Structure 1
């Protein structure tokens, strides 16, 4: 199935006449008929009732018309945003990133590249506060940040909920589930608050709800170093995004808490970015 076939189908559905559709598309009528027939064969559906006097949509055709219009609108939006991005800074699209977003970035950038193969991508990993300042100054085009963002000059579009996993000494996972209150006496180690305020806010609020304030542990500058320390005489617990972490088997356990915790993830852009561009970015990176 090709976008061209969908465009031909939508045009015929709007005109209910193959000849008028061909005129509107500025191509010959046989080409329209052939592509619509090919689309019907590929879908295994009859989209039109045809006779010598009239052309009418079938029930399947009416349903497909809605879907085809949605697909074409998304393609047009992706083309538009790619054009907007390519018009600035010689086609460089500058993205502020956070740890653990590789899969989302790869999916979204693949969508944008399909519409504008020549676009150049520049990724910049930095603390959230620095990302926001770079957006305000124009140094970044967009940023992906976890947690709430409030700023008149910026717009935050919720895109996803990031699951959190806990990393603890294996003996703390003795039962069928692990609750926060089970960790009340164990030091909590997190990255510096300036590097991840959203994680700090989420965990401390959850601990207070569970009825305790966590024992403060040393900040984590390197997760790998912290894992070595936690398995060699410095027991503690920490919280990570997602579920990807290499830890020594038997020494540490990683998994969800009960109840589960999440942090909202946002696409951050300048407040004056065009709605069409926002739609395309949201669809690409959701």
Structure 2
């Protein structure tokens, strides 16, 4: 009731233990706190908070326009509504190394289980857009060192994302990933890989957990959970899937209302009132005030 009952430290510890198990952890992207509850109810392993989704939720493109405060606030709202660990996209850390450290501490305070920091130049852009660029080696390493030094909970997961594959090629991306691990990264997120062979190359080169991004309409191939398991991946994110589904359904529903003048034909596509109230756990609120939960469906 109200918020998750599991503490942030317990979520982080559980996330670390699950990663150590060797199985693939599946993290759909939550576009709001309610969808995070749905992800948990469906039995997934964790929740992902996408920078692209957060930008879109604000009506903005994913080109580095969001602030650390906006990301931390929204990520915290999502994290506190689920007992699952939540991993957040922290872009480039929102500034110089000291800003990166402060970003990490803010995300810790907000209850996140981990974040990823990327090596794009500022302002960054979506990893599946053309024209992106990455910083030099020393700048990329300083960001990760700052994130690791800034955290206070050693279980907070620092994931190094590299966009180098699309800029300087696969071999150089692997070299950078190795250096990021040496700088203290707990895991690596190689963005925009072209296919299974490139995931396999990263797996052969690194012995830390690897994150696979299964985003739709991107540059890579959509692989199944079994394929990713066979390739040795440890985390898979579906960052924009739920938002795309929701917006697609919303667009179709609005078209139906315009065409027919009523939403009556859409009822079978909607979440019912009963299902919504169950997800919100209305009955538990009667523990505090019988006047809050005083109705029957």
When the two structures are superposed, what TM-score results if normalisation uses the length of structure 2? 0.20
* Structure with a larger share of its residues in strand: 1
| Larger RCO: 1 or 2 (CA < 8 Å, sep 6+) | 1
When the two structures are superposed, what TM-score results if normalisation uses the length of structure 1? 0.20
